[in-house]
Amino acid sequence: EVQLVESGGGLVQPGGSLRLSCAASGFTFSSYWMSWVRQAPGKGLEWVANIKQDGSEEYYVDSVKGRFTISRDDAKNSLYLQMNSLRAEDTAVYYCARQGRQWLAYSYWGQGTLVTVSS
Amino acid sequence: DIQMTQSPSSLSASVGDRVTITCRTSQSITSYLNWYHQKPGKAPKLLIYAASILQSGVPSRFSGSGSGTDFTLTISSLQPEDFATYYCQQSYSTPFTFGPGTKVDIK
């Protein structure tokens, strides 16, 4: 059974940093692009970033470029999101998701981890 | 970036109704269009990918159509478990933008 379990969320002050983790199991992690998607309270879904199987390519939404870094450790079946210079507008539930191979849809999602940026 | 619009933004319907939600993109995405629904406090669930392919395990009352810039999700007979928010998403080019959502609630 495919499982994605996020951790690392919490309360952080504006300008602070946080590192999210996503532990994957039930599939060959190294064979898939992986992504982060977020959802601000009461709002819609926002795609944040993705990373290629070997970590050689990364893409980001403009609003997080230069502040967030996606990475992976295939030996640990884990995906990460390093978030620096956090702003109030980064407050959201962050989901990790597995990207499909052909049509790139997200058929597997974690349960999400809440990040709150507030003083 | 590819912009996404959905209509309507919300609708009220009864069990058994036929429901149609449309999604439009700012440029052609061929068939790289996916549909999800989401219930409060839960992760999104994939319903349709590649514009018209039903995800495994999803009931056949859901169907998708379209290509290029205009897409449609249809629920042929709305069931109680279908009351949720529906999102389209393009996976043609990064950032893989989502539509703003359509909330389907009980009339």
CB proximity list for B23: less than 8 A, separation 6 or greater: B4, B5, B6, B33, B35, B66, B70, B71, B72, B73, B88, B99
Taking alpha carbons only, the member of A4, A3, A30, A8 closest to residue A81 is: A8
Cβ atoms of B6 and B89 closer than 8 Å: no
Place of tokens 């996020």: A6
B56 falls in which pLDDT band (50, 70, 90)? very high
Please answer yes or no on whether B89 and A47 come within 8 Å at the CB atom: yes
**Mean pLDDT across chain B, nearest whole number?**
97
Nearest CA in chain B to A35: B96
**Mean pLDDT across chain A, nearest whole number?**
97
| Position B86 pLDDT exceeds 90 | yes
CB proximity list for B63: less than 8 A, separation 6 or greater: B48, B52, B54, B73, B74, B76
pLDDT at residue number B74: 98
**Residue pairs between chains A and B whose CB atoms are closer than 8 Å:** 68
Residue B35 forms contact with A (CB below 8 Å):
no
Identity (one letter) of the amino acid at A78?
Answer: S
Residue B34 forms contact with A (CB below 8 Å):
yes
| Minimal CA separation from A100 to chain B, in Å | 10
| Position B79 pLDDT exceeds 90 | yes
Please answer yes or no on whether A59 and B46 come within 8 Å at the CB atom: no
Containing A59, the helix (H) or strand (E) segment is strand A58-60
Average pLDDT over residues A17-36: 98
Task: Report percent pLDDT > 70 for chain B.
Answer: 100
Helix (H, G, I), strand (E, B) or coil at B4: strand
| Position B33 pLDDT exceeds 90 | yes
Average pLDDT over residues B76-94: 97
Residue A61 forms contact with B (CB below 8 Å):
yes
User: DSSP assignment of A79-102, as one string?
Assistant: EEEEE-S--GGG-EEEEEEEEPSS
Alpha-carbon distance B25 to B63, whole Å?
A: 19
Average pLDDT over residues B38-54: 97
| Position B65 pLDDT exceeds 90 | yes
Average pLDDT over residues A11-20: 98
Average pLDDT over residues B35-39: 98
pLDDT at residue number B78: 96
pLDDT at residue number B107: 85
Taking alpha carbons only, the member of A75, A89, A84 closest to residue A20 is: A84
